[in-house]
């Protein structure tokens, strides 16, 4: 059951990263959320044959990695874990699209390969920024930001509650699975006969736990209203941060910087 533990450690790790104290971590979560969303929309809005125009977007994750003091290895590892499925869908492009698009020397490159490469770049960009958002913001602040942009309370409460108990339950599940695999001779995985009882027991225990939580909430004066702490205010730094990135995204979305740079370098003009 290494997979469970590995996933859980990743979760814990991102959580730990989000408690750092850097310029990026101190920014208003709303500003970070909106920046990330605009980034993703800008990246995905390119035509499917776009390659060069996507490169300037790497500046965003790179700067956040630096200013947010984030380690690159664990985030890139996560990228590698997720990539295969998407690349599996993408690899069909070269098979179906044979339109010649450009020539490097005597090698003709087909549209399929160009779009496949484009998908790979999009993949790297979108996944790293999503992970960066959470590694620099943390779930509580994201919850507050969601509330501020108008997501219904019950959804935010549900999100935060779930996140809180995820840690507790995953630990319990790991113990249960370890106990199961120590007493069985089947190696990885839970056998068919134990499907219902193992998961069912865990479910009943979880529901009991939910009841205990509810009772202890009542003991502490819970009246049906969950009050979330909201401390963040939008400062001029946040607005500046947001505005700078938005302008930058617009610029590199509509002007192909690498192409211009390349022309400057090679002197095609």
Partner 1 sequence: MHMADALISPAVGGAMWAASAGIAAYAAKKVQTNLDDRKIPLMGVLGAFVFAAQMINFTIPGTGSSGHLGGGLLLAILLGPQAAFLTIASILTIQSLFFADGGILALGCNIFNMGFLTCFVAYPFIYKPLTGTNPSQGRLFLGSVLAAVIGLQLGAFGVVLETLFSGISELPFATFVLLMQPIHLAIGLVEGLVIAAVVLFIKKEAPEILQKTAAGQPFGTISIKRVVLTLFIAALVIGGALSWFASSDPDGLEWSIASVTGEDELKAPEGIHGFFAEIQAKTAFLPDYNFSKPEEPAATASTDQEKAAWPSVDTGTSFAGIAGSLLTLALAFSIGKGLRHLTSRG
Task: Enumerate residues 78-107 that contact partner 1 by CB under 8 A.
Answer: 78-79, 81-82, 85-86, 89-90, 92-93, 95-97, 99-105
Q: Which of 15, 12, 5, 10 is nearest to 134 (CA)?
A: 15
Which is closer to partner 1, CB of 124 or CB of 233? 124
Task: For residue 179, give both structure tokens.
Answer: 């106990």
CB-based contacts of 154: which residues, under 8 Å, 6+ apart?
none
- Per DSSP, the three-state class of 184 is coil
Q: Which of 158, 178, 235, 237 binds partner 1 (CB under 8 A)?
A: 158
| Distance (Å, whole) CA 258 – CA 260 | 5
Q: Scanning residues 17 to 56, which ones bind partner 1 (CB under 8 A)?
A: 22-23, 36-37, 40-41, 43-53, 55-56
Q: Which of 9, 243, 247, 255 binds partner 1 (CB under 8 A)?
A: 255
| Distance (Å, whole) CA 209 – CA 142 | 26
Longest dimension (CA), the chain: 77
Q: Which of 131, 141, 144, 145 binds partner 1 (CB under 8 A)?
A: 131
Q: What's the min distance (Å) between Cβ of 21 and partner 1?
A: 12
Q: Which of 147, 146, 90, 101 is nearest to 123 (CA)?
A: 90
Which is closer to partner 1, CB of 28 or CB of 252? 252
> H or E element: which one contains 100?
strand 100-104
Q: What's the min distance (Å) between Cβ of 23 and partner 1?
A: 8
Q: What's the min distance (Å) between Cβ of 24 and partner 1?
A: 10
What distances in angstroms separate CA 42 from CA 218, 245, 260, one per listed residue?
A: 47, 11, 19
Q: Say whether residue 76 binds partner 1 (CB under 8 A).
A: no
Q: Which of 71, 39, 84 is nearest to 58 (CA)?
A: 39
Which is closer to partner 1, CB of 77 or CB of 233? 77
Cβ contact 47:243 at 8 Å? no
Which is closer to partner 1, CB of 240 or CB of 262? 262
Site string for partner 1, 192-231 (x = CB under 8 A): x--xxx-xxxxxx-xx-xxx-xx--x----x-x-x-----
Q: Which of 9, 16, 62, 228 binds partner 1 (CB under 8 A)?
A: 62
Q: What's the min distance (Å) between Cβ of 238 and partner 1?
A: 19
Count, residues in the chain: 269
Q: What's the min distance (Å) between Cβ of 247 and partner 1?
A: 17
Q: What's the min distance (Å) between Cβ of 73 and partner 1?
A: 14
Q: Scanning residues 169 to 198, which ones bind partner 1 (CB under 8 A)?
A: 169-170, 172-173, 177, 186, 188-192, 195-197
| Distance (Å, whole) CA 33 – CA 26 | 13
Which is closer to partner 1, CB of 99 or CB of 235? 99
Q: What is the DSSP letter of 103?
A: E
Residues 68, 86, 151, 161: is their CA dihedral positive or negative? negative
Q: What's the min distance (Å) between Cβ of 140 and partner 1?
A: 13
């Amino acid at each position: 059951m290494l997979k469970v533990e590995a996933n859980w450690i990743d979760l814990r790790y991102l959580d730990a990263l989000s408690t750092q104290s850097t310029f990026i971590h101190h920014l208003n979560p709303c500003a970070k959320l909106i920046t990330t969303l605009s980034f993703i929309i800008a990246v995905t809005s390119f035509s499917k044959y776009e390659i060069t125009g996507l490169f300037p977007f790497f500046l965003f994750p790179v700067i956040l990695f630096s200013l947010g003091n984030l380690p690159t290895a664990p985030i890139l590892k996560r990228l590698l874990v997720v990539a295969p499925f998407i690349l599996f869908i993408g690899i069909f492009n070269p098979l179906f699209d044979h339109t010649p698009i450009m020539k490097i020397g005597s090698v003709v490159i087909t549209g399929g390969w160009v779009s496949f490469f484009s998908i790979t770049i999009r993949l790297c960009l979108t996944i790293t920024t999503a992970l960066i958002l959470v590694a620099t913001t943390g779930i509580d602040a994201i919850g507050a930001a969601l509330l501020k942009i108008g997501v219904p309370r019950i959804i935010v409460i549900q999100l935060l509650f779930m996140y809180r108990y995820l840690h507790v339950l995953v630990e319990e599940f790991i113990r249960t699975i370890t106990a199961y695999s120590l007493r069985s001779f089947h190696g990885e995985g839970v056998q068919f006969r134990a499907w219902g009882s193992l998961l069912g027991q865990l479910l009943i225990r979880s529901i009991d736990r939910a009841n205990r939580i509810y009772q202890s909430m009542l003991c502490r004066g819970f009246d049906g209203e969950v009050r979330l702490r909201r401390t963040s205010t939008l400062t001029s730094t946040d607005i500046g941060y947001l505005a700078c990135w938005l302008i930058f995204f617009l610029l590199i979305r509509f002007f192909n910087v690498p192409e211009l740079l390349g022309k400057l370098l090679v002197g095609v003009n």
